[in-house]
Chain A
């Protein structure tokens, strides 16, 4: 039996160590990780995947901890993937989310895994999605993804979730700004966490207006900073999609509002299933996955071909010497690959 076949069996048999190691292989993109993920696939699709994003310090991890505790009380098992940025200089990182997991001490049925961005922009969302698959195949009932809502990369990451939750802390007039980054469009549920703090009511009101207007933050913000020229790409199927992101208030530190939030998750789930949206989202994810894999493979082929033909340096020399240009080179290098494809 190959190493990955053994590992896969152990994971499916419920061995925590095997689940941990599979995720490591996925993260490291070890040789053989594809075989593993491919083997996981047929065992996935049963977990409910919840994404949690929001500005740094919004209370995501604290909330995840309380959610996990709640699910455990209901007898459900939980997996958590928490993503932290890494230093672009050293690649090192202190992965700080785990420290908030205080309510599920020693409970192996809450499987918490910290992941670092490892400076690889595109690949992280793939690795996250694959780690979620590993937890799903392992048999986790709920899988929660936590990531800092900082940019496109993070938006892609929570895209692996069925239900995307955006945490907005009260106060600091920057909240609306943060939402501009494109997170508004992907939010299924807004959570105003730290509802015990001043300004929570106002934030709820702002969000309510924003959701009510349904046209993105542009309208709300129009008079504010003149950001209104930003055109939102809203490809929401407006008439088949009656879902308006609800706004839930929570105090993650003492668990207030967690029951409400879980009920809201359930409502969203019901909506996803009844409207066919779940299938649509999953199809979209699979399509994206196929494309990503193919892009990676194609890029690999091109690199190999480039090496075969003497490496990029030689071609650069040619351009610098004025003998040729990058366009001609690209055509030439692609030639053999194109020929292979056209022959079929």
Chain B
């Protein structure tokens, strides 16, 4: 019946963790996601992993995009992943990492459960397309 037609929308949390103050990339991504028709929640700067977990769980986002340019990804991302698992939110959340991530670290992040890493210069269409194709259903 027409009134039961669901009104799905892709929800994304764009998160900045730790002391990293580089927020241009996060803003650019947040806007691009919005313009792509997604619902975007931006965490703001300097959030603790706990806060990111709290937001991802409560907002029930399909996509958690973590932006890190500080080099602290190897300590911060595992904490977030652990937190998501604690709330049974790990399995059906697409975790992306963007920012400055050395190639050597990418494999490790993916092993942790990060679906994809988007470095500087990734065309925006590519990122948006990736999200469209991979965002888990709700």
Contacts and interface: CB of A to CB of B under 8 A. Distances in A.
A313 to B, nearest CB: 15
Contact of B41 (A21, A98, A118, A297): A98
Contacts of A24: 60, 138
Interface string B105-138: 0000000000000000000000000000000001
B60 A23 contact: yes
Interface string A99-115: 10000011110011110
Given A17-B87, A92-B36, A116 B9 contact: yes
B57 A297 contact: no
Interface in A113-155: 113-114, 116, 118, 120, 123
A118 B9 contact: yes
A123 B4 CA distance: 12
Interface stretch (A26-34, A47-55, A164-172, A236-244): A26-34
A92 B5 CA distance: 19
A40 B138 CA distance: 20
Given A20-B60, A106-B51, A108-B54, A300 B4 contact: yes
B1 A304 contact: yes
A311 interface: no
A90 B44 CA distance: 23
A230 B75 CA distance: 61
A334 interface: no
B8 interface: yes
Interface size bucket, B side?
A: 35 or more
Where chain A touches its partner, the secondary structure class is: mixed
B42 A296 contact: no
Nearest to A93: B39
Interface in A1-51: 15-17, 20-21, 23-25, 27-31
A92 B1 contact: no
Interface string A203-219: 00000000000000000
Contact of B48 (A25, A93, A105): A105
A297 B3 contact: yes
Contacts of B71: none
B40 to A, nearest CB: 5
A105 B60 contact: no
Given A28-B6, A31-B6, A105-B51, A20 B40 contact: no
Interface size bucket, A side?
A: 35 or more
A120 B54 contact: no
B48 A21 contact: no
Interface in A300-344: 300-301, 303-304
A175 interface: no
A27 B8 CA distance: 8
A98 B39 contact: no
Interface in B40-77: 40-44, 48, 50-51, 54-55, 57-60
Contacts of A116: 9, 39
Given A24-B138, A94-B42, A106-B51, A31 B57 contact: no
Nearest to A21: B60
Nearest to B60: A20
A86 B37 CA distance: 9
B7 A118 contact: yes
Contact of A296 (B3, B31, B33): B3
B9 A16 contact: no
Contacts of A297: 1, 3
A91 B9 contact: yes
A97 to B, nearest CB: 9
A20 B57 contact: yes
Contacts of A111: 58
B48 A106 contact: yes
Interface in B1-32: 1-9, 30-31
B35 A303 contact: no
Q: Please list the 5 inter-chain residue pairs (A to B) with the smallest Cβ-Cβ separation, ordered nearest first.
A: A106-B50, A20-B60, A92-B34, A300-B1, A300-B3
Given A29-B6, A31-B6, A96-B42, 5 more contacts: A28-B9, A90-B35, A90-B36, A113-B59, A299-B2
